[in-house]
Amino acid sequence: MSPAAGITTPSRWCPTPEQVMILEEIYRNGLKTPNATQIQHITSHLSLYGKIEGKNVFYWFQNHKARDRQKLRRKLYKQLQQHHFLMKRHRFDEHNQFFQYFLPQHHQLVPQLLPLPSPSSHQREGEEEAATEVEGGGRTWLGGDEGRTVAEEDGETTCRTGTLRTLELFPVRASWVEEEEGTSGNGGCGN
């Protein structure tokens, strides 16, 4: 707004090097999401180095954090892509209970741990927790280095992973797979 005569009317904040340095220092020191008070303080200090408003600080932290995460996700995705071809495919049955991961050594199958899913239970994934003390006779973990003494017998089609297919399991929505270097016209902004 405010046409503001001839002189530079920067439509957006243009941070000075000092401001950027200070912001990055603060960020590196662990302040990722400043609250209003902190934004105020940062702003008033940075204003010594140039014109700045609170919203600039606020946006700076938002963007910086977001782009940090984005960068990390990209890197991660590349790594995962690298490993993806190492994996073989294998079919597995879908099991829904996570406590099958415990394999009680001898007996004691803890009947209350698997409280029979009602046919239309949405199973909101927040509340099951509670795990209820499975300890006692000792348990072994699948996939550990030791154990592995169980379940291979009764036609237990559970895990017995000889081969590991992994990635396609997860609902990776891959919002970060999107562009590969310059597909979206940044300058164009097709609107």
Q: Does 92 bind DNA (CB under 7 A)?
A: no
Burial class (CB in 10 A: 0-12, 13-18, 19+), 69: exposed
CB distance 131 to 98 below 8 Å: no
d(CA 176, CA 185): 17
CB distance 57 to 34 below 8 Å: yes
Q: Within positions 63 to 122, which residues make up the interface with a second copy, using CB under 8 A?
A: 65-69, 71-73, 76, 79-80, 83, 86-87, 92-98, 100-101
* Residue 3: CB minimum distance to a second copy, A: 14
Stretch that binds DNA, among 43-51, 127-135, 143-151, 162-170 (CB under 7 A): 127-135
Q: What are phi and psi of 54, to 5 degrees?
A: -60, -35
Q: Which two tokens stand for residue 29?
A: 């020191």
Q: Does 191 bind a second copy (CB under 8 A)?
A: yes
Interacting residues with DNA (CB under 7 A) = 10-15, 20, 28, 30, 32-33, 55-56, 59-60, 62-70, 72-73, 75-76, 79, 95-100, 117, 119-120, 123-124, 126-127, 130-131, 134, 175-176, 178, 181-182, 185-191
